[in-house]
Every structure is written in C-alpha cells, then in structure tokens.
C-alpha cells in the first residue's frame, strides 16, 4: 500500500511542476482541481485498516471543495473578467520549473533533517507538503494575474492539508473542517474582489495596481 501512497505523492509533485510550467490559466485551474482530487484520496489511504466515518467525511469534503467547488468558482471568475488566457509570469516557465526542482531538493533535505513523530505514513509526505507550500509561495510572487495568486494560495493550503493528513491521528477533525471552510470563504471573496478590480481597472494585473496613488 505504501507504493500506492508514494505514487500519489509523486503525482502531487508532478501537478506542482505542471502548475509552474503551464501558460494557460484554464489549464492551471484544471491542474489545481486534479491536485485537490489527489489530496482527497489521501485520508482514505492512510487509515487503511479502519476506514472510519471521519476519514470518509474528510476525503469527501476535501474532494468536493477542491476538485469541484473551487475550480468552478475560479472558472466563473475567469469568464466574468474576460482576462487574457495567458498567465504572464515575471519569471519564465523554464526558470520556474528549475526553481521548482531546486525547491523540491531543498524540501527533501529539510524533511530529512526534521525529527518526526513515528506515526508518519510515508517518509515522502513531509517533504511533499513543504514543497507544495513553497510552490504556492513561488506562484504568488512570480505571476502577474490576481487569479494565479489565488491558485498559489490554494496550492499552499493544499500543502498544509497534506501536512495535516500526514499526522492525521493527532489533528482534530474540527480544525481540518475549519481550514477547508476558511479556504472556501477566501476563494469566494477573492473571486468577488477580482471581479470588482476588473470592472474598475479593466485588468487584474497586480503589478499595475502598485502604481496607484490616492
């Protein structure tokens, strides 16, 4: 079963690298949805002996939110704002990919240095969750569009979720649900905010917002 778990981990890494390398906004949203789907399966694979009601609820809630609700919200924002379909990065795609590989190496090193509780399901899960948080940060700082910044925020949240699942027996259920709700509200508000920014300024390029003066 660890092999299956590792396969999901490798797929998660690949979705992160794909996010760094794709140029289309819509494809980015779809990759994010796929990532949510993969993350949703994690609670089911960690507790294989006793698939509890709690694990099901966690998996189901996560999947519905991250693979269906968030992408739908973001796609609607994309349609409403009529933005260009390109991501427009500050850092080129190839360089971002290489930076992603560098971050992965760093997080593997970091993961090997940390003293961990023995309950960890796979040694890969901690580095991968660190990696996801860092990729999320990289997406936030290196992309121009407000929409990709929301995606970066989501990827970061996914990383925290993966971290939480790794130490699942210790983390209370309410915290996880609360986190999911927070992310939902954030995406919802950011969608509305982007719509208003777009209506006011005809674009959602964040670097051009910084030249505004009151």
Instruction: Provide the binding-site residues for another protein, judged by CB under 8 A.
Output: 3, 6-7, 9-11, 13-14, 17, 21, 93-94, 97-98, 100-101, 104-105, 108, 112, 123-124
Q: Between 107 and 198, whose beta carbon lies closer to another protein?
A: 107
Q: Report how far apart, in Å, the C-alpha atoms of 109 and of each of 97, 102, 130, 131 are.
A: 18, 11, 11, 11
Least separation in angstroms between residue 118's CB and another protein is 18
Residue with smaller CB distance to another protein, 15 or 198: 15
Minimum distance, C-beta of residue 4 to another protein, in the bound complex (Å): 9
- Output Rg (C-alpha) for the chain, integer angstroms: 18
Q: Specify the residue, 133 or 150, whose C-beta has the smaller distance to another protein.
A: 133
Min dist CB 93 to another protein, Å, is: 5
Please say which residue, 77 or 121, places its beta carbon nearer to another protein.
121
CB of 22 to another protein, least distance (A): 10
| Residue 166: Cβ-neighbour burial (10 angstroms; 0-12, 13-18, 19+) | buried
Q: What count of other Cβ atoms lies within 10 Å of the Cβ of residue 33? A: 22
Task: Output the six-digit token pair for 86.
Answer: 């390109």
Q: Which is nearer to another protein, 7 or 175 (CB)?
A: 7
- Three-state DSSP at 143 gives strand
5: which strand partners?
Answer: none
Ordered alpha helix ranges (H), the chain: 2-21, 25-46, 53-63, 70-81, 93-113, 125-142, 146-166, 173-201
Q: Which is nearer to another protein, 118 or 210 (CB)?
A: 118
CB of 10 to another protein, least distance (A): 4
Q: How far apart are CA 57 and CA 48, in angstroms?
A: 15
Tell me the C-alpha distance between 97 and 21, whole Å.
6
**Minimum Å distance from CB 189 to another protein?**
34
């Amino acid at each position: 079963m660890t092999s299956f778990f590792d396969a999901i981990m490798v797929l998660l890494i690949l979705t992160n690298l794909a996010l760094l390398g794709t140029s289309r906004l819509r494809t980015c949203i779809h990759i994010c949805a796929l990532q949510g789907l993969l993350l949703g399966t994690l609670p089911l694979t960690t507790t294989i002996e006793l698939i509890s009601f709690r694990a099901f609820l966690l998996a189901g809630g996560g999947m519905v939110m991250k693979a269906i609700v968030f992408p739908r919200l973001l796609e609607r924002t994309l349609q409403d704002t009529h933005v260009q379909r390109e991501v427009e990065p500050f850092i080129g795609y190839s360089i971002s990919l290489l930076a992603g590989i560098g971050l992965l190496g760093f997080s593997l090193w970091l993961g090997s240095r940390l003293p961990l509780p023995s309950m960890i399901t796979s040694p890969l899960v901690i580095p991968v969750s660190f990696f996801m948080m860092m990729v999320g940060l990289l997406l936030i700082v290196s992309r121009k569009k407000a929409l990709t910044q929301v995606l970066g925020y989501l990827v970061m949240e996914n990383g925290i979720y993966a971290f939480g699942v790794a130490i699942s027996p210790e983390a209370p259920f309410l915290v996880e649900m609360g986190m999911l709700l927070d992310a939902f509200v954030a995406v919802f508000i950011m969608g509305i905010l982007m719509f208003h920014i777009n209506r006011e300024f005809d674009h959602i390029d964040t670097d051009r917002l910084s030249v505004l003066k009151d």
